[in-house]
Amino acid sequence: MYPSYLESYNNGSLAKLAAQMFNSLASCEICPRKCRVNRLKDEKGFCKTGQRAMVYSYMPHHGEEPPISGENGSGTIFFSNCNMGCVYCQNFEFSQQGRGKEVSCEELADYMLQLQDMNCHNVNFVSPTHVLPQILKALLIAIPKGFKLPIVYNTGGYELPEVICMLSGIIDIYLPDMRYSEDEMAIKYSSAPGYPEYNRRSVKLMHGQVGIAKINESGIMKRGLIIRHLVLPQNSSGTDKAMKFIADELSPETYISLMSQYFPCYKAEGISQLSRRITLEEYKNAQESMHRYGLSNGWIQESGGLDRFQGTNIKQSL
């Protein structure tokens, strides 16, 4: 069945997983931080989120990768707060400073249905990691009301592999970041110890679940994996090692979104290594890393562009 979660709903496994995940908030260990606070009693750990999810906005979004946004837009729900602490986050007002409002699972389900009514191609959960239990409960509410759009799991990539395992048969489209190749950089700039190991293991599981991106004749992605890699100044993101991992451990056919949009905001202006945009040479070096390992599917960004993606194939775009 498509989307995949419909079969999980029909056989009862979705309800079982939603209950299990929601109850686990009593001692929260759903991300690598394992804060073990009782979120059911509104205790808050690193993500500053209690029992209810917080939402900053929801809307059809036209700035994602072309097969995600399509003509009608991606039905994007931006969650407030995050399990990462990136000093350069462009969305810091709600990801780090907590702007937004608490919503019930019923309200979240209603947002999903509204986005479907707007003819969006999918529902795109941005920064879903810390509110996954609430998302699953909302999905249970939305399905009997007619919800049937594929879900995009749009994550910063700081995930527990064992949680990603549980999402098999639920998520059709994974859109993770591969932000860092070195733990030192992950700790220094995102307060995310162990990021490279957790990220790589989780992305490998995502690939195993949904495979290479499958794009239909209308140019819309129905299932699969797209990996985002944000190029940071002075190679802080470790691009070459990331590309080698993707080619060697996943597939050279993997779709990659190589992003040049970095600019210093939030706390980055006061950090010498991050206080400027990337240079054309740095972005060219990142593209060359992709070529070196035979990676040819995906998108590069226009020079200086913040959210416009080029071309259909990296080899054609360079």
pLDDT at 317 over 70: no
Q: How many CB atoms lie within 10 A of CB 197?
A: 13
Q: Using 50, 70 and 90 to split pLDDT, how confident is the model at 149?
A: very high
Q: At CA 293, angle to CA 290 and CA 294, rounded to 5?
A: 85
> Residue 303 has what pLDDT?
54
Give the Cα separation of 170 and 8 in Å (integer): 7
pLDDT at 305 over 80: no
Instruction: Identify the residue with better confidence: 309 or 54.
Output: 54
Percent of the chain with pLDDT over 90: 94
The answer to whether 206 and 175 have CB atoms below 8 angstroms apart is no
- Whole-number mean pLDDT of the chain? 94
Q: Using 50, 70 and 90 to split pLDDT, how confident is the model at 276?
A: very high
- In three state form, how does the secondary structure of the chain look? CCCCHHHHHHCCHHHHHHHHHHHHHHHCCCCCCCCCCCHHHCCCCCCCCCCCEEEEEEEEECCCCHHHHCCCCEEEEEECCCCCCCCCCCCHHHHCCCCCEEECHHHHHHHHHHHHHCCCCCEEEECCHHHHHHHHHHHHHHHHHCCCCCEEEEECCCCCHHHHHHCCCCCCEEEEECCCCCHHHHHHHHCCCCHHHHHHHHHHHHHHHHCECEECCCCCEEEEEEEEEECCHHHCCCHHHHHHHHHHHHCCCCEEEEECCCCCCCCHHHCHHHCCCCCHHHHHHHHHHHHHCCCCEEEEECCCCCCCECCCEHHHHC
pLDDT at 63 over 80: yes
pLDDT tens digit sequence for 219-241: 999 999 999 999 999 999 999 99
Task: For residues 77-85, give the mean pLDDT.
Answer: 98
pLDDT at 308 over 80: no
pLDDT at 250 over 50: yes
Q: Using 50, 70 and 90 to split pLDDT, how confident is the model at 315?
A: very low
pLDDT at 216 over 90: yes
Percent of the chain with pLDDT over 70: 95
Q: Using 50, 70 and 90 to split pLDDT, how confident is the model at 275?
A: very high
